[in-house]
Amino acid sequence: MKRILFIAGIALTQLVSAQNPLVTHIYTADPTARVFDGKLYVYPSGDTIAPKGREKEFQRFCMPGYNIFSLENGATWKDHGRVLDQNEVPWGKKDSYGMWAPDCIKKGDKYYYYYPAEPKDGSAFRRIGVGVSNSPTGPFKWEKNYIKGVSGIDPGLLVDDNGKAYLYFGGGQELYVAPLKDNMKEISAEPIKIQGLPAGYKEGSFAFKRDSIFYFTFAHVFPEEGYTIGYATSKSPMGPFEYRGKIMDNISNGTNHHSVVEYKGQWILFYHWWDISGFNKMRSIRADYMAFKDDGSIKKVVPTMRGIGTPTIGDTIQVDRYNEIDGAKTAFVSGNEPIGWMVCDAKNGSSVRFNRVDFGNGSAKKMQARVASGQRVGSYEVRLDNAKGKKVAEFAIDYTGGWNNWTTVETDITDKPEGVHDIIVIFKSDNGCEKTVNLNWLLIK
């Protein structure tokens, strides 16, 4: 199903839940995730529909600017709004919709935001600009000119433990790296080709360090397969690197821009797909856990809908982003609900499992459910860990005015569950009915 979001003007601060895709109120792509002072941030680009009359020009990407997101609570992303619009780029060509993948990095107590844009002097397809801020969410003071000596897309930054910073960038058969001066606004030596990468089109440079090894990851196109995510390792940030294989196979997501971050002891791969639009140039950011083997190699990541995060008291639990489903389906929500999915077509005995819900210290008293139903045919219950596990909530199915009429219902939480559990929702139908209730989300109070 194809769904196009129409986004009016600048997004105000918004909260969005953290299952995949992470953001549903605007299109987001090319996510660079960073942990600053223990908090997780994402710096994505943004897709939009082409302005009237310019559709032919922007059949590929139409990208007007950047928003910043941070993870609040256990599983809720906060949209900090538009941090840079294309027409605010001091050196940029107006209305060029070329604000491709950005990055943000901390050095000392300052945050540096790097972004590509089309220069008004026509000197290159893309140049890379930088802004500086005292806060990870801006506002940033944008440099008047682009970084001299650098042209290309997809800036990826690395600050080594000794404080030296490196800018990786480019898209094509070769990718490049240049060391930065202490001011983070100029390169201190000419860019060099990154040595040791396999042949083929590459873009989406991202580098990180783990156990004294530098990992360089990149979107990599194989003629037979299309876009994958590859990685290479080195003992030096400037290489030469050794190609180690794929982090993600082709997942038909058009491009495979990504980033890797360690957050609360778990490694996470951020990437994008087109869950909402049905069109691979209108993307939505996603995240899934990633793991290393003992030899430092990376286990391939298989994309999930469940994604990352541990919803807790006050977060919506989007059960339609399930780990397992049996006898029911999911579909886009119907009616006047915010964009998302629902569990539907559940019959007697259908179930859906959603892993990792944090019930806190046992103080949770109520559970809410967002539902729509055209009849009264039974109930659904929430159990812990497996289908025979402790029952902690039970809801009667009631007529809400129709299958598109959404309402929030509430019931008691019993047995004082504590800590993190998987939950199973089990549907019961009194008379063999195959359509019981449309369930959008659960919430613990």
Residues that bind ligand FUB (CB under 6 A): 29-30, 45, 61, 100-101, 153-154, 203-204, 219, 255, 257
In terms of CB distance, is 140 or 206 closer to ligand FUB? 206
Query: Which residue type is seen at 230?
Result: G
CB of 223 to ligand FUB, least distance (A): 18
Output 166 or 169, the one with its CB closest to ligand FUB: 169
Smallest separation (angstroms) from ligand FUB to the CB of 204? 4
Tokens found for residue 440: 């959008």
Structure tokens at 412: 């008691």
**CB-wise, 257 or 356, nearer to ligand FUB?**
257
Q: What minimum distance in Å lies between the beta carbon of 202 and ligand FUB?
A: 10
The minimum distance between CB 34 and ligand FUB, in angstroms, equals 17
Q: Which of the 8 DSSP states describes residue 299?
A: P
∠ CA 203-207-210, rounded to 5°: 150
CB of 30 to ligand FUB, least distance (A): 5
Residue with tokens 């940029």: 92
User: In terms of CB distance, is 101 or 317 closer to ligand FUB?
Assistant: 101
Kindly tell me which of 153 and 367 has the beta carbon lying closer to ligand FUB. 153
- Return the ∠ at Cα 205 (arms to 202 and 207), rounded to 5°: 140
Cα–Cα dist 103/156, whole Å: 6
* CA pair distance 267, 128, nearest whole angstrom: 28
Q: Which is nearer to ligand FUB, 29 or 364 (CB)?
A: 29
Strands 242-248, 438-444: pairing is unpaired
Four-point Cα dihedral 263, 265, 271, 277, nearest 10? -70
Query: Minimum CB separation from ligand FUB for residue 422, in Å?
Result: 34
Please compute, for residue 66, the number of CA atoms within 13 A of its CA located in the half-sphere on the CB side: 30
Dihedral sign for Cα 406, 410, 414, 417, please.
positive
